[in-house]
Amino acid sequence: MARLRKKSAKKAGKKTGAKMADQAALFARARKVLVGGVNSPVRAFKSVGGSPLFVEAGSGPYLFSADGRAFIDFCLSWGPLIFGHARAEIVAAAKAALERGSTFGAATVAEVDLAERIKAALPSMELIRLTSSGTEADMSALRAARAFTRRDLVIKFAGCYHGHVDSMLVAAGSGATTLGIPDSAGVPRAFAKTTIVVPFNDVSAVEAAFKKNKGKIAAVIVEPIPANMGVVFPAKGFLEALRRIATREKSLLIFDEVITGFRVCYGGAQTVFRVKPDLTILGKIVGGGLPLAAYGGRKDVMSMIAPEGPAYQAGTLSGNPVAVAAGIAALDLLRDENPYPRLGKLAGHLAAGLQEAAVAAGVPLRIQSFGSMLTPFFLEGEATDYASAMKADKAAYGRWFHAMLDRCVYLPPAQWEALFVSAAHGEREIAYTIAAAREAFRQ
């Protein structure tokens, strides 16, 4: 491990073990100027305890902290870095774009190039609008759906996360789950009332919601493979049933593929399951690690968005040329290299190794994985929805997280999130992580 860290540290342009800023001191300093000391809640380590990790650099599968330590990274900025940190082609593309200008507030050819690539990969996205974040894309897709159907209500599934949109912070996953906040303060009750929450994988609950609210539901929004309550599998026929019901009720089906888009395969979960949504939301990988997201879908629905239609949505930095360049480079690499079989194999080895290590130590653990993403639930039995996922032992995960951190493996600092494997990881990193887990489980 020391040799691997030294080699990767050299690539990142820094030395491991150097005397640098103390993590606790950095956190104390940050809390004087940043809310909670962070710019996104889950980074604060409240779910696992202790002070958060301040990062200085990344290279391939490694993170380098501000106090000079190196870690094998399985958080990968919560999913975007499918090629690991600082992939040369992506860095070069972003650098070249930045040298031409950071932002123009005007149309560019590169935006068209990226949109054409997205449409080729996901044909359901007939028209596309780029945004700067997944939350913006979620909010805008919902607005388009309501404008098109002239209805107000939306069905979402408990534990699925769709950004910090006011009406979607109801039984949300991701950070809201991590912090134990199913609803957020500051959300008007009237907004929350526009959202109907039903259990994931429960078709009968969806049918009942439509029956009770006949002609009032604009859309059903879902993560086709939830990863914000941990990786949970859609039951056989579940997504197909949502498609059938939405069509019958003249409602729209929205797939939130911020995580799964270009992660589970080049065409996303809708390609894997062969279910065509009316609208799709993308983020993370589509920006190559820079702030960029997109929403798109049926031409008649997307034509509701200004300037074509009456539903307003805008953004000064939408389609930012630097992020677009990184996104194009990432998608071209994915298309040309097709890393998915290898990613699935590596993730499978990691999942099997972690499971075996837990069994040997007598630790109740269930690994749920899909492609290159997985969640170790400290749980007996399967997590099939929000309620069953919430039975996982958060405290046990926190102890394991820190035991792994002590062994130079960086995992998501939250039980109900996904680990990600990148194309930069190799069998050596996987083997080291499994060996570290054996020690950590026995601790």
pLDDT at 165: 76
The Cα 261–Cα 254 span in angstroms is 13
The Cα 330–Cα 137 span in angstroms is 20
107 versus 193: the higher-pLDDT residue is 107
Known catalytic residue: 161?
Answer: yes
Second CATH level (architecture) for the domain 88-336: 3-Layer(aba) Sandwich (3.40)
User: Tell me: the pLDDT tens digits for 378-406?
Assistant: 999 999 999 999 999 999 999 999 999 99
pLDDT at 190: 78
> What residues pair up with 127 in beta bridges, in sequence order?
297
pLDDT at 9: 45
Q: What is the mean pLDDT of residues 317-334?
A: 97
Q: Is the confidence at residue 183, as pLDDT, over 70?
A: no
pLDDT at 164: 79
Q: If one looks up domain 2-87+339-442 in CATH, what number appears?
A: 3.90.1150.10
Known catalytic residue: 67?
Answer: no
Pairing type for strands 55-59 and 62-65 reads antiparallel
User: Tell me: the pLDDT tens digits for 237-269?
Assistant: 999 999 999 999 999 999 999 999 999 999 999
Q: What is the mean pLDDT of residues 187-200?
A: 84
Q: What is the mean pLDDT of residues 209-229?
A: 96
> What residues pair up with 375 in beta bridges, in sequence order?
368
On whether the CB atoms of residues 54 and 64 are closer than 8 A, the answer is no
User: Tell me: the pLDDT tens digits for 2-51?
Assistant: 555 555 444 444 444 434 568 889 999 999 999 999 989 888 898 899 88
**Which residue of the set 46, 62, 156, 284 is catalytic?**
284
pLDDT at 405: 97
Q: What is the pTM of this model?
A: 0.92
Identical fold, 2-87+339-442 and 88-336: no
Q: Is the confidence at residue 179, as pLDDT, over 80?
A: no
| Domain boundaries defined on the chain | 2-87+339-442, 88-336
Q: How far apart are the first and last CA of the chain?
A: 20
User: Tell me: the pLDDT tens digits for 344-361?
Assistant: 999 999 999 999 999 999
336 versus 17: the higher-pLDDT residue is 336
**Which residue of the set 67, 73, 161, 410 is catalytic?**
161
Look at 77-91, 157-171, 214-228, 318-332 and tell me which has the smallest mean pLDDT. 157-171
Known catalytic residue: 295?
Answer: no
**Which residue of the set 67, 138, 256, 385 is catalytic?**
256
